[in-house]
Amino acid sequence: MIEKVVVTPRPEDDRPVEEDEMDSSEERTGRQNHYEILSTLKNSLLTELDRRFKDVENSETYALATLLDPRFKRVYFKDPAAHGRAILLLSAKVNEKHEERRSASSAASSDPAAAQPCASHSLWDIHEEFLATAPPQEADNPDGVSGELRHFLNQPLSPRTADPLAVWETIKGEYPHLYEIASDYLSRVVTSVPSERLFSLTGNTSTEERNRLDPDRLARLVFMSSLDQDEWFSENH
């Protein structure tokens, strides 16, 4: 025997069809408005990023710092012309360092005390005397790129989590000229937040009630105020 099942409609099922269509239309309109807002925000961000960073590869500081970072080197250069200019500029700086060392070596070899002939007549003494008076060898610079720079760029990249300055400490003997340049470019602070925080800290220390602090004492107070709690209680200090 088949029983008759009576289905009781839910309250929302009693709504007219026009009301359901109106709700769906409002939802579509709301989603469309959200999409337009997000699309406008995205386009604005992309426009500002392009305006501010489209020529970043042509910036000497950014380009050379990227080349000298053992984690990146030249992998992120997109403009071949900018990449070539950065390579030549960095190579010129390496050559300048090479010339400085060569000039210092020439000045040392021209010292009368150093130029005195050796009393011994061994072959190695003759060799040392020859090196002291011989002109320095030219650097290996085919196509205007120093051999030191070429060798560094052809080495594998360091891990992303590596400290670039720590990496340079381990390879400075192999790339002495590049090491001096990397120490300059990679140690630069890329944000003004620390200096601005220091100015605020100085203003909080040198108040109207303490306006007779001399500069040395003020500097010491600011320095001590900038230390973290761990540094205050560290066993190494």
Beta-carbon count within 10 A of 57 CB: 18
**What is the residue-level pLDDT of the chain in tens, covering all 237 positions?**
455 555 455 555 555 545 555 667 777 777 888 888 888 999 999 999 888 888 889 989 899 999 999 999 998 898 999 999 999 999 999 988 888 888 877 666 565 554 455 455 676 777 677 666 655 544 455 566 888 999 999 999 999 999 999 999 999 999 999 999 999 999 877 666 677 777 787 888 888 888 888 888 888 888 888 777 777 776 655
DSSP 72: T
Say what the pLDDT of residue 145 is: 80
Asked if 78 and 101 count as a contact pair (C-beta separation under 8 A), the reply is no
Asked if 102 and 136 count as a contact pair (C-beta separation under 8 A), the reply is yes
Tally the residues of the chain: 237
Asked if 123 and 177 count as a contact pair (C-beta separation under 8 A), the reply is no
Say what the pLDDT of residue 99 is: 86
Say what the pLDDT of residue 25 is: 75
pTM score: 0.56
Say what the pLDDT of residue 67 is: 93
Asked if 67 and 86 count as a contact pair (C-beta separation under 8 A), the reply is yes
CB burial class (10 A; 0-12, 13-18, 19+) of residue 30? exposed
Q: Can you tell me the distance from the alpha carbon of 12 to that of 89, in angstroms, rounded to the nearest whole number?
A: 74
Say what the pLDDT of residue 32 is: 84
Q: Which three-class secondary structure string do you get for 90-129?
A: HHHHHHHHHHHHHHHHHHHHCCHHHHCCCCCCCHHHHHHH
Asked if 181 and 64 count as a contact pair (C-beta separation under 8 A), the reply is yes
- Strands (E) located in the chain: none
Two tokens, residue 211: 């306006």
Place of tokens 């005390």: 113
Asked if 106 and 131 count as a contact pair (C-beta separation under 8 A), the reply is no
Distance, C-alpha 65 to centroid of its chain: 6
Say what the pLDDT of residue 49 is: 87
